[in-house]
Each structure stands twice: as structure tokens, then as C-alpha cells.
Amino acid sequence: MLTESSHRWLGKKDSAIFTKEILFYSVKRHRIENVGKEGGLAEKGRISLKPGDHLYFIGIGGARLSALAKIMLESGYKVSGSDRTAGRNTWELEAKGVKIYYGHKAEQITDALDVVVYTNAVGEDNPEVVAAKAKGLPLYEGAELLGAIMKEKGMGIAVAGTHGKTTTTAMISLLLIKGGKDPTIEVGGEMKELLGNHRTGKSPYFVVEACEFRCSFLYLSPQIAVITNVDWDHPDCFPTAEAVVETFKEFIRLVPSDGKLVIWHDDPHLAQLRTAAKAPVVTFGLTPEADWYCTEVENIAPLGIKGKLHKNGVYLGDLALQVPGEHNLRNALAALAVATETGVELADCLKYLQAFTGVRRRFEVKGKAGGVVVIDDYAHHPVAIRNTLATVKKQYSAGRVWCVFQPHLYSRTKHLFSDFTQAFNDADILLLADIYAAREVDPGDISSRQLAEATGEHHPDVRYVGDLTALKELLLQETRPGDLVLTMGAGDIYKVGEAFLQQKGV
């Protein structure tokens, strides 16, 4: 049951309840009431959501909604939607015959639609959200629909955490696919093994990347939950670090007593988080105190890592990965704990993980030109930045490391400003792009120029550049053979590395 703290973090206008008779949390402003499991995927009053119904997705190009749209399309539903701009996800959907509008306009919401699904990133004042409310159309946030599918399928696996959830979700997905479990998958990045960010399976297993932003993951119904770590992020939603911890505790309470909670043993908040668990808790980490752990960790060429795998003190063999960093070893340990729980043999899991090649934009090697290696990474939080740069420093010594960072969101940059200023010590040269606004409007009191000035007090070579084209030109002029360029951020900074490689002749 949702407690008073959940109401606080879900927002002042929300009225949320959860009982075993309903399928979704009932959010008052969306008119979702008495949603049961009869008559198709979900029944809401006069509306029965069933194959053939028309679902319209607002923000269909986003990682989560694009995956969800493809799952619904492949499950027999009619799908259309809108987004601000075209991109890889919208192009893939259009190739599948999905009608997509570019730009959000009220007139695109018609009476022909049966259900409207939106991403909470677009905001309540989005003209299509407003139009759907005015027409009285059933209006669900994407996580509500994910929760409905999870409830329907019966064996939900939800992977949450501030960092590492995309890679961990991908690892679990790979193990279940290769292990013959035929899962449905929604992941927030593009898996090379899926050639995309989704899979529509026929078994009860549904693997979902569970995002804490605006408490979206509280709509899910996991049988198994993974928490990779808990840090303060999304300060526009969570005013304090304690608010984040309390929300993760609510997520933990969603796991039933016959389920399983898999969590990082060395998380500073572990003791608090465990108090919320009804289900048995399994821990993972790089110390013998964890249930699943690795010892004798070492890097392997060209960009891998391995360790001696143990469970409850018993040595089980070597865990070796092609992807780098101790953080990825921890991700793999979590994936092993989940996959073996579903019945996939450990020996098979170790073999499949050794073949895992990562997720797009997660330490993705983009290419090499003129003797310069270009890698792209999604890190946009100070902790993730430090982890990624530490990994580079340990595994790359041929030349200088250029970190080309694009801060993501004004609110995050402002609230975590001090942490950002000390996150780049393992880079030889730091270049800063302007802040990527995404859903926010420039408040006028925070900028990359300010971040550069403050970071310069801790780092010998920090340069504010701003424009992406100017960043590319600077790299073309000043990099030399043996250097490594690491583009980093959750926005469109990857374009700098791609343009650099293209102009260099790759």
C-alpha cells in the first residue's frame, strides 16, 4: 500500500491508492478508476483495452515509450504518436507502419483514439495531454501501461537504480533470452543482441528498466526487483537525498513476500532499504560479505574485466566480461542472481555474459581515426562520471584522455554543482558543452561557463567551448595520435565524436 510519503513524492495533485482489486495506481487527475484484469489487457469503466484498439503515444521517440509502442504494436494494437523531433526510434517505428506526428498539437488528439499514453517528461501542460483530458480519453503515463503488462504476464523483473540499470537490464535480458525463457523486454538503451530496445515474448517473464523519475516505477508490479545503487538525482523531483531513499523503499514494498529483492551490498543506504523488504533479500558486490561476489578482480585486454566468482563463500568459477569497469562486474553479479533464480544454469550464464558486448551509448567505442580513439558514454551524474573516467584511466595509457562533457538539465547541474566540479580528475583535458536543456527552460542562474570556472579550481585544464561544432573543430586541431576522446552526457554530445570521426575519414 502506498504510504503518506508516496503521496508527497507523487505530487500534490495526485491521489494514489493500491489494492489487490485494481491493476493500476489510481491517479485522480487521469480519471483512472477501478481498473481490473478482465476483458483484455485492462478494463476501465466503459473502456476495454484489447487487441485492435488504437493507442496514441505522446513522446513516442523516447527510450521507454518507443519500446512500449513496439511491444503493443506487436501484440495486436494499433499505434500512432507524436514527438518533438525525428530520430532513430521514430524512424524504426515509421518503418513498421506507425503514423508519427512531429510536434505536439491538440488537433492530433481525435475521438478515434481509444487510449492516450504519455511520458511524464512532456509535462502536464502539453497540448496533447490537455486535449486528451478535455475529451475524457483514458490517459495513462507510460509506467502505468508497463505495470499493466507486468501484472498481466505475472513474472515481472524490474531493474532500478540511479546508475547501471540499463546495462543490468540488458544483461538480464540476454541471459533469459539465451536461457530459453522467451521474455518480453523494455530497456532504456539499444541492445546489440536485440538490434533495438525491446522484445515481445510469449512467456510470463517481463524484464523492465524501472525509472524513479517522478516515481514512475511505483506503477510496476515486480516479482523480482533489482536495485543497483541509490544516489541523489532528479533534484527537480526529489528535494533531498532522503526523498530518493524513501521512494526506493516504496518501490521495494511492491515486491511480494514470495518474490526476491536483489541489491548492491555496499550501497550506503542498504540498512534503510532492507527495512522495507517483505521478500527475501539477495546481495551482490565485490566483498565477501555479499551473497554473490567477486575477488581477485583484474582488467583484461582489450577493454574487459574479470574476477573469481563466489556465492555464499563457495567459489564457482571465473566471471569474465568484454565490457570494462568494476561497475559492470557488479551489474553482471546482479544479472547472475536474477537469471539463476529463474532457472538458467550458472555455467550457461557465465558463457553468455562473456559474449555480452554492451549497450549503445554505454562506453561505446565509436571508432578510431588519425590514431585517436573515440568512445561515447551516457554518464551524466557525478558518480557515474567518476566511475567511467576511473575505468578509462585504468585501462588506457597510450595518450591523453579528452573528456567532452555536456551537462544534462539545469536543475541537475545546479543542485549537484559541487560534486560535478570534482568529478573529472581522471581526465587530462576537460571540454564543456552548453547545458542540454531537455524538458527544462534556462533559469538564467546556472551555466557550463560557471561550471568550467569552478571546476578549474580542481583541474589543470578545463575549457568552456559551448557549441558542438566548435568542440569538433577544437578536437580536430589539438588531438594527436594516441589520444582518447570520451564524449559524455545524456543529450546529443555523441554527435561531436561522430562528426570528428567522419571528418577524419572513418
436-459 confidence digits (pLDDT tens): 998 888 999 999 999 999 999 999
ω before 324 within 30° of 0 (cis)?
A: no
Q: Is there a domain that residue 402 lies in? A: yes
254-275 mean pLDDT? 96
Query: pLDDT at position 103, please?
Result: 95
Same domain as 313, residue 217: yes
Instruction: Name the CA radius of gyration of the chain, rounded.
Output: 22
Q: What proportion of the chain, given as a percentage, has pLDDT over 70?
A: 90
The count of structural domains within the chain is 3
Q: Is there a domain that residue 279 lies in? A: yes
pLDDT of 5 over the 50 cut: no
Q: How far is CA 447 from CA 121, 374, 402, 434, in A?
A: 22, 26, 21, 7
317-341 mean pLDDT? 95
To 10 degrees, what angle do helices 382-395 and 326-341 make? 110
Question: How many CB atoms lie under 10 A from the CB of residue 114?
Answer: 18
Query: pLDDT at position 124, please?
Result: 84
SS3 29: helix
To 10 degrees, what angle do helices 494-504 and 468-478 make? 50
pLDDT of 15 over the 80 cut: no
Query: pLDDT at position 87, please?
Result: 87
d(CA 213, CA 224): 20
d(CA 190, CA 403): 23
Sign of the Cα pseudo-torsion (237, 60, 404, 435, in order): negative
Q: Which grid coordinates are listed for 506?
A: 572513418
Same domain as 371, residue 259: no
Active site residue 341: no
Angle at 299 between CA 295 and CA 302, to 5 degrees: 150
Side-chain half-sphere exposure of 221, counting CA atoms within 13 A: 21
Catalytic residue among 70, 151, 165, 414: 165
Q: How far is CA 41 from the centre of its chain?
A: 25
Same domain as 123, residue 104: yes
Active site residue 168: no
Same domain as 243, residue 158: yes
Mean pLDDT of the chain: 87
Choose one of 142, 167, 202: the last residue of a domain: 142
Q: Are 424 and 454 in contact (CB under 8 A)?
A: no
CATH number at residue 37: 3.40.50.720
Sign of the Cα pseudo-torsion (475, 479, 482, 484, in order): negative
pLDDT of 45 over the 80 cut: no
pLDDT of 22 over the 80 cut: no
Catalytic residue among 209, 246, 250, 326: 209
Q: Is there a domain that residue 107 lies in? A: yes
373-401 mean pLDDT? 89
pLDDT of 382 over the 90 cut: yes
In sequence order, the β-bridge partners of residue 369 are: 372
Same domain as 371, residue 490: yes
Identity of the residue numbered 236: D
Largest distance between two CA atoms of the chain: 66
Q: Is there a domain that residue 147 lies in? A: no
Least confident of 152-161, 232-241, 255-264: 232-241
- The pLDDT tens digits for 48-93 are 578 899 999 999 998 889 999 999 999 999 999 999 989 889 999 9
DSSP annotation of 37: S
d(CA 485, CA 482): 10
Q: Give me the residue label for grid cell 527510450.
A: 63
In sequence order, the β-bridge partners of residue 43 are: 36, 48
Choose one of 310, 326, 354: the last residue of a domain: 354
Same domain as 279, residue 224: yes
Least confident of 210-214, 252-256, 464-468: 210-214
Q: Are 220 and 156 in contact (CB under 8 A)?
A: yes
Same domain as 369, residue 349: no
Task: Name the burial class of residue 448, with classes exposed (0-12), middle (13-18) and buried (19+) by CB atoms within 10 angstroms of its CB.
Answer: buried
Q: How far is CA 179 from CA 226, 302, 432, in A?
A: 19, 27, 43
Choose one of 117, 142, 167: the last residue of a domain: 142
Same domain as 102, residue 13: yes
pLDDT of 427 over the 80 cut: yes
Same domain as 370, residue 431: yes
Q: Phi/psi zone of residue 196: left (φ > 0), alpha (ψ -120 to 50 degrees), beta?
A: left
Q: How far is CA 156 from the centre of its chain?
A: 17
pLDDT of 13 over the 60 cut: no
Least confident of 45-49, 330-334, 342-346: 45-49
Q: Give me the residue label for grid cell 551489474.
A: 331
To 10 degrees, what angle do helices 165-178 and 326-341 make? 40
Task: Name the burial class of residue 70, with classes exposed (0-12), middle (13-18) and buried (19+) by CB atoms within 10 angstroms of its CB.
Answer: buried
Q: Is there a domain that residue 359 lies in? A: no
Active site residue 240: no
- Domain span including residue 257: 154-354
pTM value surpassing 0.95: no
Same domain as 233, residue 115: no
Give the chain's length: 506
Q: Is there a domain that residue 275 lies in? A: yes
Q: How far is CA 7 from the centre of its chain?
A: 24
pLDDT of 212 over the 60 cut: yes
Q: Are 232 and 269 in contact (CB under 8 A)?
A: no
Q: Are 436 and 407 in contact (CB under 8 A)?
A: yes
Q: Is there a domain that residue 149 lies in? A: no
Catalytic residue among 90, 119, 162, 166: 166
Same domain as 383, residue 344: no
SS3 of the chain: helix, strand, coil, percent, to 5: 35, 25, 40
Q: Give me the residue label for grid cell 575549457.
A: 463
CATH number at residue 219: 3.40.1190.10
Say which residue, 133 or 238, is predicted with more confidence: 133
Q: What proportion of the chain, given as a percentage, has pLDDT over 90?
A: 66
Query: pLDDT at position 33, please?
Result: 32
Question: How many CB atoms lie under 10 A from the CB of residue 318?
Answer: 13
Say which residue, 17 or 269, is predicted with more confidence: 269
Question: How many CB atoms lie under 10 A from the CB of residue 94?
Answer: 12
Same domain as 413, residue 345: no
CATH number at residue 387: 3.90.190.20
Q: Is there a domain that residue 475 lies in? A: yes
